[in-house]
Chains A and B, each alone.
Chain A
């Protein structure tokens, strides 16, 4: 087990190093001079020269790379290109917590609901609950999340869209407005923030929902036919007990697996959902960065996202090692 763990750890570090390199190089081969893009075509050459000097863009690439690496190791993501003086880490922190709250809320809707729908479809397989869930899943993968989000706005016109909280409300300690209100027992504020969160989270939840319900159904079908379940039934266990105690633990591995695979899709979906609801998250931040030729912002966002993904994938790997006895003993399933 420790050998596997060590291998995964080395892989994660290697992935991160490659990601840093790729991000750094990708944004240095650009045809557009970012300083020129900011000052416009008719800027004074001396002014451009001065700015390039200040940002360190006129040094050789390898020197820039070293300086960049040094900066990263100190936990510094630099300052915005388009808005000089703005520290990226501060804005990025706010944007990231907004995106994480949205994604977390979507998963809290999708996982229980998806497992429930999938289980129901598996029990009544090839009859109408199964067909309905299959049709919904097909629609879920076909309707783009940004269109679904617009439909939700049309269906619930009284729900607030735009900000995460009404203007004038006091600041929060963390970036997780809804969850913080819940934990600190401020239920009135939780309702207010929850109303802002509800539609974006609901729209985003449809992406994992469709996949989770289908995977749960298939995993359940596989388990429901197994001999040990028939034995459990024969020994007098009720259908609910059989599903909860015997089938679910085994099916949950496949579900966890697909949730892991879906994280990337989920984040892409979150970026699009944010755009519809003007949710001030990572997606809006990075898209604005691309449009303003603010490479420092794009670079920082890409690196932080890559970092999150490496850590998440590693966590999932470790979870699998803990949950699946076959992997733990070093055997391949």
Chain B
């Protein structure tokens, strides 16, 4: 984008006028809200305490809407409580990814030259390996546990932010208002905090929302593989792997966390795509 097109844009119509035309924001936002609500008020909305024991593998009934699992625990309660670990792990790792990724992207885009080449080559190498392989290395090096999982998921998600922010920095650097604040003697610190960061905030939100969807999936996947934290914690991935062993007896302990993961990821995907359309950000779609 040339500097002329940035300077001569017409004022965008207020976002509220576009909101009703993007159903994804509503449906996705609703799903995300439901999930966050369940996580925060898990103790209040779940019918039983998380470790209460009932009968083994009970079918769904009025007492236990989704039945009980092989550990005699209520499936609905565990699914509601499971949203907590997923949410905390995902938000923490995406926050780390945003901080690392945006810093690297800004540095690469602003400095250019050697720094840019070095960072982008590293990111290219990073991206050329399957994400699970990177996660495995991190977890093997730190030994299995939630901290390792969070760090692994954060590192997997860094390249997306770096690439996009760098691309925007390249055009931003030559925008009229940026050039004039540089000419007016703005320090790099001021530039980053008050000029660049506000300009890329929308992009960060869109990418972070989509990234949260990925993070939920990756966290569940790692704990499904049994290399996350304590498998007895209420967590969707470990519930699934536990339920997989008892499919012949009861299917609900497997269906419930699986549907919960899918709906949450669907919610973040729809919400992120809708947000992108609303904020008119051009980023990758899948």
Contacts and interface: CB of A to CB of B under 8 A. Distances in A.
B141 A275 contact: no
Nearest to B225: A287
Interface string A265-304: 1011001100110000001001101110101001001100
A150 B240 contact: yes
Given A146-B240, A150-B240, A150-B247, A275 B266 contact: no
Interface in B191-231: 213, 217, 220-221, 224-227
Interface in B249-286: 251, 254, 258-259, 261-262, 265-266, 269-270, 285-286
A151 B125 contact: no
A289 B144 CA distance: 11
B136 interface: yes
Nearest to A31: B143
A142 B266 contact: yes
Given A26-B141, A147-B240, A275 B224 contact: yes
A1 interface: no
Interface size of A as a range? 35 or more
B269 A141 contact: yes
Interface stretch (B95-103, B127-135, B162-170): B127-135
A272 B227 CA distance: 12
A211 B284 CA distance: 12
Given A19-B129, A32-B143, A264-B130, A138 B224 contact: no
Interface string A156-183: 0000000000000000000000000000
B182 interface: no
Nearest to A287: B225
Given A138-B269, A144-B265, A267-B130, A30 B142 contact: yes
A41 B247 CA distance: 37
B269 A146 contact: no
B251 A154 contact: yes
A143 B128 contact: no
A27 interface: yes
Nearest to A25: B141
Contact of A150 (B220, B221, B258, B270): B258
Given A138-B266, A154-B247, A272 B224 contact: yes
B130 A305 contact: yes
Contact of B261 (A139, A147, A153): A147
A268 B137 contact: no
Given A151-B258, A264-B131, A268-B131, A27 B140 contact: yes
B41 to A, nearest CB: 25
Nearest to A211: B286
A142 B265 contact: yes
A275 B222 CA distance: 11
A254 interface: no
Contact of B247 (A15, A138, A153, A289): A153
B135 to A, nearest CB: 9
Nearest to A294: B140
A18 B128 CA distance: 12
A138 B144 CA distance: 32
B18 interface: no
A147 B129 CA distance: 24
A221 to B, nearest CB: 14
Contacts of A211: 286
8 contacts: A144-B220, A146-B224, A147-B262, A268-B131, A272-B224, A286-B136, A298-B137, A310-B128
